[in-house]
Structures are given as C-alpha cells and as structure tokens.
C-alpha cells in the first residue's frame, strides 16, 4: 500500500462478488498499490471468483504478489503459471471437501453424535451418552401429560409454571451465556420433543444432505439408523401412540371451524412432512397476476 501496510481480516475479501466496502473505497481512492499474500490459495480457492477478483484489481492498477511463489499478477509472464495454480487450488478445495464429507459419512455409519438431543448429555472424556438428570425427567413428563390427553399449549403452560429449564437454557448455562436471560417453553419446543424418535434409544444420522445452499431430506431407507444407541427415556410403544395422537389431534387453522378431513393423513413423498391446509384470501389482481395473502400456517 502506498500509505503503509495493513492486514485485511474480512471474510468478504475472499469473494469477487463481495469485496468489503472499506477495501473497495481504498481501491477507488487509489490508496493501494499491491496486495501481498502468502500464496494464491490465500486469496481464494474458487477459480472463477478469484480470477474475477484479480481482474478487478488489474483494472484498478493493483497487483497481487504471491510471496512464497514469486508471482505477480501484473507480470504477463506469470499468467500461465497463475492460471495453473488457480486450477490446482480449485481442485484441492473440492477434493478436501469430498474427503471431509466422506469421512463424516463413515463416522455417521459408526454412530457419530455431535450434540445429543434434549434429555441427554455427552461425556467428553469417554464419548458416552448419558441421561441428563433433570432434562430426561422433563421429557418423561411431557410424554406423560400428552398421553393423558393434555394439549401442547397446556403442557407448555405447566412447564413454565413449574419453571422447568428449557433446552436453550441448559445449553446456554453449559456455555456460560445464561446470565440475566428469561427462558420460556413454547408450543414448538414441546412438539419437537414429542416427535423426537431418539428417546426410544434410536440414533438417526444422515437425515439431510446439503448441496450448495439447498437442503434435502434423505429417504428413511437411506438414513443411518442405530438401534439401542441412547439410554431409553420413552418406550417405543408409548412413542408410537403419541405419534398417532399427534395426527388425530391435528388442530384447524385460524378461521376454520373444524379440522380438515385429511388433517394429519397426507404426507409429502419426498421429505415425509405432513401437508397442512391454508386459508387464502384474494387481495388484488394486477396484470393478470393473482396476489394472495396466506392466513395462518407455519
């Protein structure tokens, strides 16, 4: 830099489409003469984005200098080597990613648990999963209440009245971040516990797959299911009875006077989620485009 040196520790620096505003301002003001990196992989391992970023710097009259490789992007003689390096860096990043995913999948097949569900805790010394004294009792209370015919909202109210600690509260206390916060049980947190199959002792890995920014559910027969992995909190028969009750007791949405005839009965063939009815009210019609306002729904 013409005004001295600096260290740019900003995530957006590695993206040609997301250059940090401070860096762009400095470039536009002509304050930067060169960007010095340890090697080109430090600038970025995405071949196309890195090339765009280097080209942008060239247009600004700024060179990128690789200290260990002896390369300068403003030197035409280095263009071929820079292109090859970028291809190697891009391949390396993809190869490492594939190896990490493969290793993670193998650990999932063996029974990998990163964070056990509410009701359990992981002994970091031995790696064993154990029952949490308070949380496991809370889980049993929730299943017992629901089996007695109590609704999820009423269960939520009772848990809050008894000041039972929530999943987030226990996690924050373990991390030392619970000072002064108020924690409340919610309808969704109770429902999550009622639908969690792990309490029967079953560990389910590889439930979803991520491709870029898209997350897709994995079919049940392709998941990695480990029976008798967790200590049992809820017996299998009781858990299945609760799942049946959840479907039967599916509540109508706002504006409905009764449950839909197919409530809790129709499920998506891809992800397994239950279809839910929604009330739609016509708002307006503009250029033959129908605009709707959805009332209710998740």
Both 178 and 291 in one domain: the answer is no
Q: Would the pLDDT of 232 be above 80? A: yes
In this structure, what CATH number is given to the domain that contains residue 67? 3.40.50.1390
pLDDT on residue 113: 79
Q: What is the DSSP annotation of 138-169?
A: HHHHHHHHHHTT--HHHHHHHHHHTTPPPHHH
In a domain, 123, yes or no: yes
Residue 190 CB burial class (10 angstroms; 0-12, 13-18, ≥19): buried
Does 218 share its domain with 117? yes
Among 85, 106, 127, residue at a domain's last position: 106
**CATH code (residue 150):** 3.90.1750.20
Clarify whether residues 129 and 177 are in a common domain: yes
- Give the mean pLDDT of 163-179: 87
pLDDT digits (tens, 9 = 90+) for 173-219: 888 887 778 899 999 999 999 999 999 999 988 888 877 678 888 88
State pTM to two decimals: 0.58
What domain range includes position 232? Answer: 113-249
The total number of structural domains in the chain stands at: 3
pLDDT of residue 10: 40
Q: What is the pLDDT of residues 65-100, one digit of tens each?
A: 888 888 888 887 777 787 787 778 777 777 887 888
Q: Would you say residue 1 lies in a domain?
A: no
pLDDT surpasses 60 at 16: no
Q: Is 98 a domain residue?
A: yes
Claim to verify: residue 158 and residue 129 sit in the same structural domain: yes
């Amino acid at each position: 830099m013409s005004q001295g040196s600096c260290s740019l520790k900003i995530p957006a620096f590695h993206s040609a489409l997301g250059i940090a505003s401070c860096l762009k301002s400095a470039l536009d003001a002509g304050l930067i003469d060169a960007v010095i990196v340890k090697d080109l992989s430090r600038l970025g391992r995405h071949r196309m984005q890195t090339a765009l970023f280097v080209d942008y710097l060239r247009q600004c009259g700024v060179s990128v200098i690789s200290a260990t490789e002896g390369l300068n992007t403003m030197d035409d003689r280095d263009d071929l080597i820079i292109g090859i390096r970028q291809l190697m860096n891009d391949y390396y990043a993809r190869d490492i990613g594939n190896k990490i995913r493969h290793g993670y999948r193998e650990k999932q097949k063996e029974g990998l648990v990163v964070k056990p569900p509410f009701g359990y805790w992981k002994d970091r010394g031995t790696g064993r999963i154990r029952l949490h004294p308070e949380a496991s009792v809370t889980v049993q209370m929730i299943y017992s209440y629901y089996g007695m015919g109590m609704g999820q909202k009423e269960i939520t109210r009772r848990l809050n009245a008894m000041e039972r600690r929530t999943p987030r509260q226990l996690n924050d206390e373990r991390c030392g971040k619970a000072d002064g916060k108020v924690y409340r049980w919610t309808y969704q947190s109770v429902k999550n516990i009622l639908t969690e199959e792990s309490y029967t002792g079953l560990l389910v890995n590889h439930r979803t797959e991520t491709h870029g920014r898209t997350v897709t559910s994995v079919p049940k027969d392709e998941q990695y299911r480990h029976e008798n992995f967790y200590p049992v909190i809820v017996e299998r028969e009781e858990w299945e009875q609760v799942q049946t009750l959840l479907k039967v007791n599916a509540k109508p949405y706002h504006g409905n006077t009764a449950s839909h005839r197919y409530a809790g009965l129709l499920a998506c063939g891809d992800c397994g989620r239950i279809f839910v009815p929604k009330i739609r009210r016509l708002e307006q019609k503009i250029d033959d485009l129908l605009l709707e306002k959805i009332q209710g729904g998740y």
